[in-house]
Amino acid sequence: MTRPTAGTPLSRVDGRLKVTGQAAYAAEHDAHGTVRGVVHGVIVTSTVGRGRITGIDTRDAVAQRGVLKVISHLNAPKLPYRPFRGVPDPARGERLRVFQDDRVRFFGQPVAVVVAESLEIAQHAASLVKVAYDGERPATDLSSPAGEANQPENYQRGNVDQALERAHTRLAQTYRLNREHHNPMEPHATIARWEGDRLTVWDKTQIVLNTRGDLATVFGIPEGAVRVISPFVGGAFGSALRAWPHVAIAALAAREVRRPVKVVLTRKQLYTGTGFRPVTEYKLTLGADERGRLTAAVHDIRAETSAYEDYREALMVQGQMVYATPNVRQTYRSIPLDVNTPTWMRGPGAATAAYAIECAMDELAYDLGMDPIELRLRNEPDRDPGTGVPFSTRRLRECFRVGSRTVGWDDRDPRPRSARDGNWLIGTGVAVATYHTQRAPAQALARLDADGTAIVQCATSDMGPGTYTSMTQVAADALGLPVPKVRFQLGDSTMPPSPPHGGSMTMASVGSAVQDTCDKLRRQAIRLAVADPGSPLHGASADDVVVQNGRLHLRDDPERGETYRELLARNNRPHLEARGGYTPGQEVERFSTHAYGAVFAQVAVDERLGLVRIRRVFGVYDAGRIINPKLAESQAIGGMVGGIGMALLEHTVTDPRDGRIVNANMADYLVPVNADVPDVNAIYLNGDDRTADPIGVKGLGEVVIVGVAPAIANAVFHATGRRIRDLPITIEALL
Ligand code: MOS
């Protein structure tokens, strides 16, 4: 048998394209010659955070040679906003209602676009557009909403008040997460071209089909009239899960000037032109008995949204399932503010909730005088405590066992300030990570060509996890072809549909669809062979035929067989083609499926300066089957680095007077650099979860960020005795 490629650390199949600059990112399709005659749009953004535009003077701008048009609400055509797929969805239109009225809803809102022959002319002309406002102070703080409260989300089981009253130990604390931005390397960008009533868009997106739907909605045209192309994405972390106003602006401008238009957001514009992880206040009350078993939990959560859309994320999942707690109450309020709409950012909801829950568990462990891991193990449920259904797999105990052995947890003196290294106080903390396994319907197309190579397609995306590579591996194994003979293609709305490339659902959903499709194609070839009198396999049972290295043969008699090429040539078939897919079934309700991790952090805190240095972060994950260990490790390290940023550095700072983002650049918005991440490692438990999905994975892109920030916060407490309940943990807070 040739060895399957799934499970092996194959290097990225698109790596060479990327390092040689041949991979075309959204803003590069003109330079790569894909689209010609492109002109440039530069967006002018509002300098007040709420109010009305009272005048726009474009005379100097339009007087510049090379300026084609300046578009604002004063001259933009009214956009029809036809309901998406027949379903009215106010959220879809609202976000993309560009230049439709004089209202300013947030600081940095697009108020005009200047279109010119060159980027430089457009930039200069944009600086000459004078906008007058009647501005007011925006509401940018959770304590003073911009409008009426949104309907809260509620959950309840048991009798919380009684249980809290009877609890042996009670703890009530509020944890706060500040706003964070994704800051992908690649800026968001769109090139739009109209040919009559048909629109083609090259976009940075994690889901071409959503962008297609959004544009069809905004322009009131059929989805079939829109094509969205996005072969490469230079990082996104959720920021490209929705189309943002610049996408509609590029398309609107292209229609107005009758030329293809490119709009690239500046780094500064990314802070208001795309979403962000919302400010969240998480008040958590826990009750426990004398043996450390949780008896009650009250989760009171408030998170920001915009005044024009009600964004929510999965903040309530962990509070229901992570620990056996008979009595639970949750309330989640989204607070409308004069900000642009937040959006999913890596581990959305889960990373925030885990920060509160896992810090509170650490506090409770100290209150009870119990080891923090022991406390968690005592609350390990044997069924999902929220739904009562069994877990498909839950190997958290094993994660703890492997992790604590690796980091030497049992040798740790639990007392705060008990370890030091010169001026540095040393602390170790632990936290649990969980992320629910999401699955959604996906389809794929596979074609085997006469030369013995295959092409497999799905309209998914690869923002960095290595989807091109992992799907190639799945396809190669199912087709019985070596990796170089298989090409996986994605990022085009004309391809078979996929769910969003987010929520850690791509491998489960698209991977299962690719496997099904390629299984069908292989079986089709086998059927052709056994029915073909000219084939050495004629008359054999299809079940006895396997394909290896592009050659079909009898399992028990490898000599008897022929290659795909021979089979197709003799049958005069230019290719064989199959369509397949994956639809989640009842297992989604019948089992509780999550990825898990135990995350350990060691920090050093300078006693006099309050500096926090990461010494080590180590995660042990139960994520089901690992299709490519090299990519999985890369995902883990990336997620953990994101968690370090969340814990210690990342904070989008808003000026309350006008809603301006004061650190809208990569010099002032801090993210970890290499020196901040000396020793970051992860391992995955061997195994798979065939209940979760046909391919056996549980998703790993999100879970790897989830427990990192609380593990670090707990380590800071262990080092210093200081409990910081506000992220990021800054020097100021520790002084
Ligand atoms: Mo992500 S927030 O799963 O793109």
Using one digit for the tens of pLDDT, what is the confidence trace for 340-394? 999 999 999 999 999 999 999 999 999 999 999 999 999 999 999 999 999 999 9
C-alpha 702 to ligand 1 mean position (Å) = 7
Q: Which pLDDT does position 85 carry in this prediction?
A: 53
Whether 699 is in the pocket of ligand 1, judged by its Cβ within 6 Å, is no
pLDDT recorded at residue 84: 52
The answer, yes or no, to whether residue 324 has pLDDT greater than 90, is: yes
Q: Please choose from 344, 352, 635 the residue to mutate so as to test ligand 1's pocket, defined by most ligand atoms within 8 A of CB.
A: 344
566 is known as an active-site residue:
no
The predicted-structure confidence for 224-282, as pLDDT tens digits, reads as follows: 999 999 999 999 999 999 999 999 999 999 999 999 999 999 999 999 999 999 999 99
In three-state form (DSSP H/G/I as H, E/B as E, the rest C), the secondary structure along 366-435 is HHHCCCHHHHHHHCCCCCCCCCCCCECCCCHHHHHHHHHHHHCHHHCCCCCCCEEECCEEEEEEEEEEEE
Ligand 1 centroid to Cα of residue 678, in Å, is: 26
Among the atoms of ligand 1, which is closest to the Cα of residue 206? Answer: 4
Looking at the predicted structure, is the pLDDT value of residue 513 above 70? yes
Ligand 1 site, residue 466, Cβ cutoff 6 A: no
**225 CA to centre of ligand 1 in angstroms:** 28
The catalytic residue among 180, 304, 363, 702 is 702
Q: What is the mean pLDDT of residues 521-537?
A: 98
Query: What does each C-alpha distance from 61 to 42, 64, 252, 259 come to in angstroms?
Result: 12, 6, 19, 19
pLDDT digits (tens, 9 = 90+) for 154-200: 999 999 999 999 999 999 999 999 999 999 999 999 999 999 999 99
Predicted confidence (pLDDT) at residue 90 exceeds the cutoff of 70: no
On the CB side of 296, CA atoms within 13 Å amount to 19
Query: How far is Cα 334 from Cα 408, in angstroms, rounded to an integer?
Result: 42
Q: Is 422 exposed, middle or buried (0-12, 13-18, 19+ CB in 10 A)?
A: exposed
236 Cα nearest atom in ligand 1: 4
| pLDDT top residue among 720 and 310 | 720
What pLDDT, on the 0 to 100 scale, is given for residue 95?
Answer: 79
* Residue 250 neighbours by CB distance under 10 Å: 29
pLDDT tens digits, 638-650: 999 999 999 999 9
Across the range 84-90, mean pLDDT stands at 51
Averaged pLDDT score across all residues of the chain: 96
Q: What atom of ligand 1 comes closest to residue 238's alpha carbon?
A: 4
Cβ–ligand 1 distance for 241 under 6 Å, the answer yes
Per-residue confidence (pLDDT) for residue 93, from 0 to 100 = 58
Residue 317, φ and ψ in degrees, nearest 5: -65, -55
Give pLDDT, residue 82.
Answer: 65
pLDDT at 89 over 60: no
HEC readout, 224-253: HHEEEECCCCCCCCCCCCCCCHHHHHHHHH
pLDDT tens readout for residues 24-42 = 999 999 999 999 999 999 9
How far is the C-alpha of 24 from the C-alpha of 52, rounded, in Å?
39
145: Cβ below 6 Å to ligand 1?
A: no
**What are the tokens at 371?**
């080891």
pLDDT, tens only, 121-132? 999 999 999 999
| pLDDT confidence bin for 305, thresholds 50/70/90 | very high
Beta bridge partner(s), residue 596: 434, 622
DSSP of 53-91, one letter per residue?
A: EEEEE-HHHHTSTTEEEEEETTTPPPP--PPBTTB--HH
pLDDT tens for 98-150 read: 999 999 999 999 999 999 999 999 999 999 999 999 999 999 999 999 988 89
Q: What integer is the mean pLDDT of 540-544?
A: 98
Distances (CA, A) of 560 to 76, 453, 527, 533, 554: 69, 22, 15, 14, 6
Q: Kindly state the percentage of the chain with pLDDT values over 90.
A: 96
Q: Calculate mean pLDDT across residues 64-84.
A: 89
Question: What value does the mean pLDDT take over residues 457-479?
Answer: 98
Counting every residue written for the chain, the total comes to 735
Residue-level pLDDT at 97: 83
In this prediction, residue 149 carries a pLDDT of 83
Q: How far is the CA of 413 from the centre of ligand 1 (A)?
A: 38
Residue range 675-724, pLDDT digits in tens: 999 999 999 999 999 999 999 999 999 999 999 999 999 999 999 999 99
Atom 4 of ligand 1 has which residue's CA nearest to it? Answer: 238
pLDDT band, very low/low/confident/very high, at 448 (cuts 50, 70, 90): very high
